[in-house]
Structure 1
Amino acid sequence: MVMDIATLKDFKPSEYEEAADGYRAISDMAGSSMDAVDNQISAGIRNQLRGEAAKAVLGELRKLSKNFHYVQTECALASTALNGFAFDMGAAKRKLEAALADAHAASCTVGTDGSVTYPAGGKEVDGKAPEGGTMPPGTSPTNPTSASLERTAANMHPNPNFGKAQDLANRIGDALQEAEEADHKWAPKLRALKADDDLVVSARDWTDVKSDTDGVRTASKGYLGSLPHPPKDGSPKGNAAWWKGLTPEQQSDYLAVHPDSIGAMDGLPAAARDQANRTVLDEARSEAQLDYDAWLKDHPEPKRYTPYINPLTGTEVKGAMVESQEWKDWEKARKGARGGLDGMEAIQQRFDTSTGEETRPYLLGFDTRNRGHAIVSIGNPDTADNVVTYVPGTGSTLNGIDGDINHALALQVKAERMDPAHSTASIAWLGYDAPQSLLGDATDAKYADAAREPLTEFLTGIDTSHQGSVNSTLLGHSYGTLVAGETMRDHPDLPVDNAILVGSPGVGVGHAKDLNIGSDRVWAATAKNDLVNLAPPPSGTLAPLNPMAYWRLFNDHSVMYGNDPTSDEFGGQTFHVADGKLPLSDGLMPAHSQYWEGDSLNNMAKIVTGGKP
């Protein structure tokens, strides 16, 4: 609309700020309702009821939870948008009020159209002062030449009130123009914040949320710029202090328009990071689903089976069918088209199957960069007495995160049963790009080198956000032991009390003392049938003329990345694990993944809860 003085004078930013508070309150209520549905009502049903009726009810409750999450997110955006609109209009209103006050002090009269009438004044000529006049509405010239000409005209005019009126008219015009631009900017953004007229939150709805978020974030730069900024160094302690210094309203605004940044901030409360990352997850999952659906539409499934042709006779074998090469190629392309969708669905499944507060999942990190990353805690790490952070190894990707979460869950459940007087949070930390091949990537330490700082910041952040004292354990598996070892080696002040190293090809040090926590708190185990026992010594030691090097190849302590942590030479502690399945009995090296069962799981749980196996 066309802005005029009366409209801008009557504008009350407080009314829009109160409306923003109302939307924020609705957002908070929707978030609390989603929490109640997921972690109380649905969890109670899963714990007590079975059968088709229970499945049907849980299905409807999942839909209700999605609705609440959608309401929570969109109402938070509406709150931020209204605050942004009130901020922009309030700034224009203040400029107008200041100009009107200055006009009154200068004995000038402002017309309803923004014109300024100024009185007579200046040096008298023939006993008469230069006459007054009226300056038409205007705005400050943006062109330097025009601005210079305007100043020259004011300086040459015999009535000094002419220049004052000119400046006042421009200031009033600027305020009105600023208000009009704010109105035009925010009107479509606010109109876009509306849902479909149905009760189904679809993938398309969540992609619209992302579009809404981008729009509100861009439009609210002025408002967000007025809020306290996150620390430039991004340290966990700095992040925590910044977050605590924000009002609940400001925290809500940051969560609404910067969920990806807030979710990745080490040192912030787990609940805040979880809320932010779940929004990012829903947006990414919906986008991936729509892309996958589009791919399926453009690539219809070919006929799967074709008659088997005997290669010797070249004739069909009656009744024998095999998968066609065309279908195999299509199936391979289909799996590729899903991207990280399998992993995203696995994470969501954790929220959909939670059975109580003790095993409630918290999404502490999520993105789809490179191979994708996810950090999932079973239990609240801010309040748990024991916190264990598990770093997976070779072959880990976002799509395979379900197995890593299963490991974290198994250890958390076992630790809670072993020490019911103290709570345990178990974290699967896939915050790095893991190597993908045993004989290729895994022989290069660059993946661990790149993971050291992210893991350090995460562990420091967990310690920073924790309420009270905590017993912290870092658990590495396979190549993840190298990540854990390098991180502990290079950061003497890392807040880690215990280390567990299983299925390790070496941890980047020759002795347990080099991990900076005391050799008596470094625990290692490798199953007898784990092929990681065949990890070669460091590159370059097998010189043809060095017989000692060949002896070391078969010695039990020289492995790829330093001494074997289960050897006497390493100087740490060991614990018992089962031999595991034989190689090739269930995949290439099944024993390498059997540390989360039997004696091994029991012993790890003892360490995590402060005991000794």
Structure 2
Amino acid sequence: MKYTTLSALKPGDLENAADDYAAASNMADNAKGRLNDEIGPKMRGALEGKSVDAALTQVKKLSSNFHYTQTQCGLIRTNLNLLAGELRAAQKKLKGAESDAAAEGFTVNPDGSVSYPAAGDKVDGKTPAGGTVAGSTRPESPTEGKPLDPAGDAGDLADALDRQAANADPNPNRAKALAIANTIAAAVKEATEADRQYAPVLRRLKADDDLDVSHADWADSGQDMEASRKAAKEVGAELPGAPRNGTPKANAEWWKDLSAEDRDNYIALHPAGIGAMDGLPADVRDETNRVVMSEKRGQYEMELAGIPPEPRKERPGPSGLPSREWEKWDEKYGDRKAHLESSISGMKAIQGRFDRTGEKGLPEAYLLGFDPEGKGDGKVIIANGNPDTADHTAVHTPGTGTNLGGISGDLDRSDKLWRNSDRLAPGESVSTVMWFDYNAPDSIPQATESGWAKDGGPSLQRFLEGTEAAQGGPEASHTTVSGHSYGSTVVGEAAKHHDIPADDIMVEGSPGMQVEHARDLGVGADHVWAVGADWTWDDSIVRQGGRLMGLGEGGNIPTDDDFGGNVMDYGEHRGISGHSGFWDESGGEPSTSLRNLSSVVVGDYDNVELK
């Protein structure tokens, strides 16, 4: 970039363009919201048939297109604003140098050099002549004030000699002019570097010329974000620093204090980081995590499509041994392919929950956490209804065997808990949160190792503290923390070490909570609720196995009388697994167990049926 270009530049033009892209992003966001929260739910709630299914497919496709438009336009807006900010800072430095030159009576030439007049004490009867100097962007030489090293960098030597000559010149204007010229050169260099970094980023931010937003488009969007983050880092256009390992309360305060523009920039450039930050508003985390999921889905689908077909496993003949070709393929691709397929299955299940909004009154879903690579089994936190504004909030932790690929069953349980809790609290808002942000044991033998809960407990505590901070304090919502099977052990680990931000704790099929008595959980023994299915072999094995494995201190598990909590009635056996049947709705009516769980969620304790 030339000096004259920077001097005449109008960063406001870039900012005006950024505003236009912001308007486009907001328009797409509003359109997406209407499709997802109004049009789609009304169609699902009022209509049935193949024609409606076909129409809903088109609504989902249109929503995805608007989502992509929102994301990309938001990214363009951020890049334009950051580029404008860097150019404006460089231009401010340049204008300051121009003002200094004018004040001294110097002339800034079109090439950025500075001419200065004659001045100073006379030498041999003559006033020292004026001249012209060109600026340099080299840093101060390490040889400054020392004997010059002939073996050093030639440019450094030249600059050092030039500065020494200016200081020794009998015309004091030369040193002043050189300092101004150096400032001009530095400003031009900063503007040139900003333009060099951002030009290719902005050029790549363009969509295909078709109307189909493909997996490749979303995968490319992730690369666009990476390129944008790199450009910002290279030119020093970093955003206000986020708290390092901040508490959820500190995170909430930090976000609250950011300007609207900085919030938008963080959402555009760092969606994964914002989506994982406990304490931030649910709608912000949902927006960013949906972007992350769309990008990951695109990346995973493209990666999966690039894996060669699996060769025939068996060798020819009766040996039954795997072929060498298959062994090589499996070593290189087997585990990754299984992970990709499992993760994609989980993403489809999450999208399926989004698509069920409106069915049987189901509210909007909020994706509060998502990472297919996180915590070993993947990470997903999804809420029915906005927990930030809910009168009653239930946070549920699933147990052994949970992973992202098989998350559909846990999402279904959360849906049922919301539906029946909402029915019991007319005029009040309910949010049920399925929290899976820990590495769950894959089998019952693995669950004997205490490390799973010790790692998961602190994460659950942070999420609960973040939810409380986003809600505005402990009095804002009646909160119940729930744990199924080994998930109850994670709840116990969180509660026994912390002042858990909950009003009630309830557990289903618990093998032990790492405490001896309900009062050790910190919410009061009368606010601890447990249910088991004594007459079913699978639930009895889990609970009694937990007793033998020592997951309950002193041999007590929550359904024991000696534990001291409330033991709820499971109700009738409906012919399904007892250990997985606590949320049964078969026949169109909630089971006794589900009614009891829902009554605790809404604080209707008088209607809880105890054993």
* TM class by smaller structure: 0.7 to 0.9
Q: Distance in 2 between matches of 1:408 and 1:463?
A: 20
1:519 Cα offset (Å): 0.7
Question: Which runs of 5 or more structure 2 residues have no equivalent in the other structure?
Answer: 144-155, 585-590
**Counterpart position of 1:576:** 569
2:282 touches 2:386 (CA, 8 Å); kept in 1? yes
Q: Which amino acid aligns with 1:604?
A: L
**Counterpart position of 1:63:** 61
Q: 1:563 aligns with which of 556, 559, 562?
A: 556
1:210 touches 1:283 (CA, 8 Å); kept in 2? yes
Q: 2:426 aligns with which of 417, 420, 424?
A: 420
Q: Distance in 2 between matches of 1:130 and 1:332?
A: 81
Q: Distance in 1 between matches of 2:19 and 2:554?
A: 56
**Counterpart position of 1:347:** 350
Q: Distance in 2 between matches of 1:42 and 1:142?
A: 64
Deviations 1:393-444 (A, max 9, x none): 11011111111111111100010112222111001100110111102x1001
Q: Distance in 2 between matches of 1:506 and 1:34?
A: 45
5 Å-filtered alignment, 1:438-449, equals 438-439=444-445, 441-449=446-454
Alignment of 1:172 with 2:192, yes or no, is: no
Q: Distance in 2 between matches of 1:75 and 1:159?
A: 55
2:135 touches 2:179 (CA, 8 Å); kept in 1? no
Q: 1:476 aligns with which of 480, 483, 488?
A: 483
1:137 touches 1:173 (CA, 8 Å); kept in 2? yes
1:87 touches 1:223 (CA, 8 Å); kept in 2? no
Q: 2:405 aligns with which of 379, 399, 402?
A: 399
1:452 touches 1:487 (CA, 8 Å); kept in 2? yes
1:270 touches 1:381 (CA, 8 Å); kept in 2? yes
Distance 1:173 1:594, change over 3 A: same
**Counterpart position of 1:213:** 225
Q: Which amino acid aligns with 1:470?
A: S
**Counterpart position of 2:146:** none
Q: Which amino acid aligns with 2:583?
A: W
Alignment of 1:535 with 2:528, yes or no, is: no
**Counterpart position of 2:457:** 452
**Counterpart position of 1:362:** 366
Q: Which amino acid aligns with 1:173?
A: A
**Counterpart position of 1:552:** none
Deviations 1:497-531 (A, max 9, x none): 00111101110100000011111110011101112
Distance 1:335 1:580, change over 3 A: farther
Relative to the length of structure 2, the TM-score reads 0.88
Q: Distance in 2 between matches of 1:228 and 1:426?
A: 33
**Counterpart position of 1:551:** none
227-236 vs 465-474, which deviates more?
A: 227-236
213-222 vs 595-604, which deviates more?
A: 213-222
1:335 Cα offset (Å): 4.2
Q: Distance in 2 between matches of 1:27 and 1:420?
A: 36
Distance 1:293 1:433, change over 3 A: same
Distance 1:268 1:224, change over 3 A: farther
**Counterpart position of 1:593:** 580
Deviations 1:526-583 (A, max 9, x none): 101112233154559xxxxxxxxxxxxxxxxx9588411111110111110036578x
Structure 2 SS opposite 1:114 = coil
Alignment of 1:83 with 2:90, yes or no, is: no
Alignment of 1:291 with 2:314, yes or no, is: no
Q: Distance in 1 between matches of 2:546 and 2:280?
A: 42
Q: 2:284 aligns with which of 268, 272, 290?
A: 272
**Counterpart position of 1:602:** 595
Q: Distance in 1 between matches of 2:165 and 2:250?
A: 53
Q: Distance in 1 between matches of 2:334 and 2:110?
A: 71
Alignment of 1:116 with 2:119, yes or no, is: no
Distance 1:63 1:578, change over 3 A: same
**Counterpart position of 2:392:** 386
Distance 1:72 1:465, change over 3 A: same
2:513 touches 2:552 (CA, 8 Å); kept in 1? no
1:27 touches 1:75 (CA, 8 Å); kept in 2? yes
Distance 1:274 1:578, change over 3 A: same
1:233 Cα offset (Å): 4.1
Structure 2 SS opposite 1:578 = coil
Q: 1:49 aligns with which of 47, 50, 54?
A: 47
1:482 touches 1:507 (CA, 8 Å); kept in 2? yes
1:98 Cα offset (Å): 1.0
Structure 2 SS opposite 1:523 = strand
Q: Distance in 2 between matches of 1:371 and 1:252?
A: 31
2:533 touches 2:579 (CA, 8 Å); kept in 1? yes
**Counterpart position of 1:555:** none
Deviations 1:43-70 (A, max 9, x none): 1111111111111111111110000100
2:357 touches 2:363 (CA, 8 Å); kept in 1? yes
Q: Which amino acid aligns with 1:81?
A: N
Over the aligned positions, Cα root-mean-square deviation in angstroms equals: 2.7
Q: Distance in 1 between matches of 2:303 and 2:387?
A: 35
Structure 1 SS opposite 2:105 = coil
2:362 touches 2:415 (CA, 8 Å); kept in 1? no
Alignment of 1:411 with 2:414, yes or no, is: no
5 Å-filtered alignment, 1:472-551, equals 472-492=479-499, 494-528=500-534, 529=536, 530=539, 531-535=541-545, 537=547
Q: Distance in 2 between matches of 1:68 and 1:380?
A: 22
Size of the aligned set, in residue pairs, is 568
526-535 vs 77-86, which deviates more?
A: 526-535
1:390 touches 1:476 (CA, 8 Å); kept in 2? yes
374-383 vs 156-165, which deviates more?
A: 156-165
2:518 touches 2:524 (CA, 8 Å); kept in 1? yes
Structure 2 SS opposite 1:495 = coil
183-192 vs 148-157, which deviates more?
A: 148-157
10-19 vs 447-456, which deviates more?
A: 10-19
Distance 1:264 1:141, change over 3 A: closer
Q: Distance in 2 between matches of 1:537 and 1:477?
A: 16
5 Å-filtered alignment, 1:105-144, equals 105-136=103-134, 138-141=136-139, 143-144=141-142
Deviations 1:66-111 (A, max 9, x none): 0010011001100110011101111110111111111112221111
1:352 Cα offset (Å): 2.1
Q: Distance in 1 between matches of 2:199 and 2:296?
A: 27
513-522 vs 331-340, which deviates more?
A: 331-340
**Counterpart position of 2:14:** 16
Question: Which runs of 5 or more structure 1 residues have no equivalent in the other structure?
Answer: 312-323, 541-557
**Counterpart position of 1:102:** 100
1:509 touches 1:562 (CA, 8 Å); kept in 2? no
Q: Distance in 2 between matches of 1:461 and 1:217?
A: 27
Q: Which amino acid aligns with 1:180?
A: T
2:82 touches 2:237 (CA, 8 Å); kept in 1? no
Q: Distance in 2 between matches of 1:385 and 1:478?
A: 27
Q: Which amino acid aligns with 2:395?
A: T
5 Å-filtered alignment, 1:371-382, equals 371-382=377-388
Q: Distance in 2 between matches of 1:358 and 1:242?
A: 33
Structure 1 SS opposite 2:367 = strand
1:141 Cα offset (Å): 4.8
1:149 Cα offset (Å): 2.7
1:215 Cα offset (Å): 1.1
Relative to the length of structure 1, the TM-score reads 0.87
Deviations 1:199-256 (A, max 9, x none): 1111110111111101111212388856432223421111111111122222111000
The percentage of aligned residue pairs carrying the same residue is 42
2:512 touches 2:547 (CA, 8 Å); kept in 1? no
Distance 1:208 1:487, change over 3 A: same
